Structure 1
Amino acid sequence: MVFLPRSNFSESQETEWRVYNKIAMRLLPFLLILYVISFLDRVNVGFAKLQMSVDIGLGDAAFGFGAGVFFLGYCVCEIPSNLALQRFGAKIWIARIMVVWGLVSAGLMFVTSETQFYVLRFLLGISEAGFYPGIILFLTYWFPARLRSQICAIFFLGIAFSGVIGGPLSGWIMQTFSGAYGLHGWQWLFLLEGIPAVVGGVISFFYLEDGPAKAKWLDASERALVVDALVAEEAGKRAAGYGHRFIDALRDANVWLLAITNFSLLGGTYGLSFWLPQIVKDLGVNNLLFNGLLTAIPFTCASIAMIVVGKHSDRHGERKWHTAICAFVGAGGLVLSGLFGFNPYISLFGLSVAVSGALAGLAVMWALPGTILGGAAAAAGIALMATIGNLGGYTMPFILGWVKQLTHQVEFGLYAMAAMMVIGGLVMLVIPKLNQSRRAEPTFAPVVSR
């Protein structure tokens, strides 16, 4: 399988093309599976709500708070977790994260009150903290900056695939297992979707390597090619005056601005992911399996958009406008869905545009922090961006739930998310270091065959 197109490499870079595709083939399918598991455990609560609201007396505002409180725990531990990954190595730390979060996720099957729901969602956030930014950091250990938009797009397919797979799967589990052994369908959902994380964590320990220098599945010349390229890239960043220390990330205004864009895009993604089953139900779809199939449509569209936009961004070596335009398109989709909430077909089309814009923008944006930071600064900067971005994952589901309970309509919540995505796109356009980095890093630009 070819993950990276031949057109991204010159005719003299045949060896590089083969080596990086070999690495991508080894890492990306496995990491993609892990991210699907991760995202399922974050958003399956949206499907569980369709039944557990009645069973434990969970209102819309309470659900929105509980769904979002996950991100408070996540954000508290995100930066320490990424620094720990850099210190202890990816294979140990990613395995630790997955085993613990799988156990906590499965434990949600035992909740009987709002308070227990809040506590376990908060603990789930703490348990999973560092996985998402940790993988982003881990990928910078293997791939040069000029290839990372496509690499991130492939990894972020995990969000889209979890929507494609997770919707029908969650609906099927809840409908099929409801009442089995005295358990409700939502209890089976948490149990059956929590176990794979534990299994994935154990496999990660034996399958992953901390970096190319330790990869026994690469021969000596392949290891040297990859390591030398990354060392040269780090030297280029140092020569250009880019931050390398932990404190450099915290002092860099560009990182904070990128974090705001991440907040808007990730907030929109999670807001839709948590509430999409309910939105589809409000459109008149009550069958759980059919609901799951319909919620897969926006994520199917997004998976195509991410690959197309990521490839185009890498080919042209441009990130700023690609991300901003995706944010604006996503906002337009949210507005369209809200305006035509009375028409399920147009509304679902709008949601598909919104999810596609948000996820494609995220894939391109996450190619940036590794190009302006290195070393501990990269670990801290990526974690800082993820921390602030995941606060959007708390804010947007809560706003949607609060607005829906207050007005009995979800449209105003969609408009609020659209406004945030527009702000994120505008912020992306004013980040000063992006133009500087393109001028200062000619060796990082993509090479296109003629």
Structure 2
Amino acid sequence: MSHPAEGTVTPSLNDTTLRTAVAKAARHLMPMLVILYFVAFLDRTNVGFAEAALRTDRGVSDGAFALGAGIFFIGYALFEIPSNLLLKRFGARFWLARIAITWGIVAAAFSFTTNDTMFIILRFLLGVTEAGLFPGVIMYLSDWFPNKVRVQMFAIFYLAQPFSQMIGAPLSGGLISFGDTVTPWQGWQVMFFVEGVLAVVAGIAALFLLTNSPAHAKFLDDDEKAALSSVMATEDRLRTEDGPSGVWRALSNWKVWYFTVIYFALQIAVYGTTFYLPQQVSSLIGLKVGWQVGLISAIPWLVGLFACYYFGRAANTLGRRRSWGTLFYLSTGVFILGSAWAGANNLPLLGILFITLAVASFLSVGPITWAYPTSFLTGAAAAAGIGLINSLGNLGGFVAPLMRTSINAAVPTPTGAWGVVSLGVFAFAAAVMIWLTKYFRRAKSDDLLHDEPVAPGH
């Protein structure tokens, strides 16, 4: 094991100065990061609220909608690793702000969609401009927060997903209703434009509110900077010893590819559910997509918000991360299958309950999943490896709507139950893969989960 320089002690999280530094960093950084991801998730999924209107007003076909919903992830995947490497070069503060501003401009441009081709091109460009946000933040948090509390920070960051759907679902539905009744534009146009502008504003704010590293943090005093920098430097050395070095070794590392497959399976479940959630709720309760469906669609995300935060905060040991990860992947699959069964049997309340539990499960398991690669990747290897996992894993968002649409066309049912069933199968595969990590050699930085001070010669 690598150690700090002779004569130094890397403090435990029981150290008051370090705990104060971590708490200050969380208070200063996490709200801005949550806002960035809130708007990003809102802009990539609000298309579900405009599906019927785009078909009616612009003639966007079902096939074009499915392709457009998924092609976002092709642009996202192609530019993910380059974006991560540029973030390492220019710094997180500038690069994350740049990402938000450019994707906001593209998101607002959806209000001018005229046909299938324009819709598909804009979805591709949205993926290109947003590429690097999520893995960039994962790397950023890995440079700021020790392993012991990192899943908790990932979980706080993940709260943007339920917030974006809990608040964003009625917001999107409300903007559509407002636009249709009050403005001279179509409601879906107002929704796209307003929510795109929100991203631009968030990007400008990030330039002023984010800080690249603990050493440059004006909100920390000198002792706090030293304590946090010391523990992060120790973890960085351990990850350097434990994992691949450099871009190409990271891209060929078998563990990186292993967690890419797991993340791909997770994204199949996430986006296969999220893209069609308003339509699934609409089908269950028999109401047109609007503010009422938006309010009901917010329920799963409200429950998921509490589940994600609670389990992320408590997943501070290796055993909990593995056992809970396995459990939540299994429950994701089970409850997705349950929602399909409830829809096929016209049981709306049970269907909404199963959707709620599925959303709570996949939100809880996301932060836990990211704890694994960030325990052995650092530096340029982290930029490449985390970028690869997220970019190829997010192709699940491309596959999910096409797979769901194709299966429903091949095996038609009034509720599209078989398309929903296909999503759960991937969650079961991910559960097995997380469980098998018990046979992996433990990452050296995971030894710090015991929260003992790291001192020379020990």
1:238 matched to 2:240: yes
**In structure 2, which of residues 203, 206, 209 is the aligned counterpart of residue 207 of structure 1?**
209
Which of 17, 20, 23 does residue 18 from structure 1 map onto?
20
* Deviation of the 1:404 alpha carbon: 3.6
Distance 2:50 2:449 in 1: 45
TM-score, normalised on structure 1? 0.93
Q: Deviations over 1:168-212 (max 9, x none)?
A: 111111011115543111010100100011111111112211111
Residue of structure 2 in register with 1:442 after alignment: 447
Distance in 2, matches of 1:324 and 1:106, equals 39
Query: How far apart in 1 are the matches of 2:429 and 2:70?
Result: 21
Paired residue type of 1:294: I
- Distance between the aligned counterparts of 1:253 and 1:224, measured in 2? 35
Q: Which moved more, 1:164-173 or 1:307-316?
A: 307-316
**Does the residue aligned with 2:442 lie in a helix, a strand or coil?**
helix
- CA, structure 1 residues 109+145, in 2 after alignment: closer, same or farther (shift >3 Å)? same
Q: Tell whether 2:380 aligns with 1:379.
A: no
Aligned residue number for residue 219 of structure 2: 217
Aligned-pair identity (%): 35
SS, match of residue 112 in structure 1: coil
Query: In the alignment, which residue of structure 2 is the partner of 1:272?
Result: 273
CA shift, 1:268, in A, is 1.1
Mapped pair 1:256 → 2:261: no
Deviations 1:217-246 (A, max 9, x none): 21111111111111111222334x322321
Structure 2 counterparts to residues 53-92 of structure 1, below 5 A: 53-92=55-94
Which of the residues 79, 87, 96 maps onto 1:94? 96
Instruction: Tell me what 1:3 maps to.
Output: none
- The match for 1:335 is 337
With the length of structure 2 as denominator, give the TM-score of the two structures.
0.91
CA distance in 2: counterparts of 1:395 and 1:11, whole angstroms: 42
Residue 354 of structure 1 aligns with which residue? Answer: 358
| Contact 1:70–1:122 under 8 Å retained in 2 | yes
1:151–1:317 CA distance, 2 compared to 1 (3 A): farther
Shift of 1:29: 1.2
Q: 2:13, 2:19 within 8 Å by CA — same for their partners in 1?
A: no
Deviation at 1:433, TM superposition (A): 7.4
2:395 to 391, 403, 423: 391
SS at match of 1:217: coil
Corresponding residue to 2:436 among 419, 430, 440 = 430
Q: Give 2:394's aligned amino acid.
A: N
Aligned 8 A contact 2:12 2:452 in 1: yes
**Paired amino acid for 1:214:** H
Whole-angstrom distance in 2 between the partners of 1:27 and 1:275:
32
Tell me by how many angstroms 1:319 deviates: 2.2
**Is the Cα contact below 8 Å between 1:46 and 1:274 reproduced in 2?**
yes
| Stretches of structure 1 lacking an aligned partner (at least 5 in a row) | 1-8
Change (3 A) 1:309 1:248: same
Label 1:53 to 1:446 Cα distance change in 2 as closer, same or farther (>3 A).
farther
Q: What residue identity is the alignment partner of 2:423?
A: M
Deviations for 1:291-336, whole angstroms, at most 9, x for unmatched residues?
0011111111111111222122115654222222111100001010
1:421 to 2:427 alignment: yes
Deviation at 1:147, TM superposition (A): 1.1
Partner of residue 5, structure 1: none
Deviations 1:358-379 (A, max 9, x none): 1111111112222111111111
Q: 2: CA distance between counterparts of 1:99 and 1:338?
A: 38
* Equivalence map 1:161-176=2 (5 Å): 161-176=163-178
In structure 1, what is the Cα distance between the partners aligned to 2:246 and 2:169? 42
Q: Secondary structure at the match of 1:297?
A: helix
Looking at structure 1, the residues matched to 330 and 395 of structure 2 have their Cα atoms a distance apart, in angstroms, of 20
CA distances 1:248-270 after superposition (whole Å, capped 9, x unpaired)? 21122111111111111122111
SS of 2:276's equivalent in the other structure is: helix
| CA shift in 2, pair 1:108/1:146, >3 Å | same
SS of the aligned residue for 2:312 comes to helix
From 139, 142, 158, the counterpart of 2:141: 139
| Larger mean Cα displacement after TM superposition, 138-147 or 11-20 | 11-20
CA shift digits 1:368-422 (9 cap, x unpaired) = 2221111111111111110111100111122223334451532111111100111
Q: Aligned Cα RMSD in Å? A: 1.9
Q: Does 1:412 align with 2:388?
A: no
Which residue identity does 1:143 align to in structure 2?
F
Aligned length: 438
**Matched residue type, 1:51:** A
- One-letter code of the match for 1:126? V
Report Cα offsets for 1:42-95 as digits up to 9, x if no partner: 000000113222111223332111111100000000001001101110111111
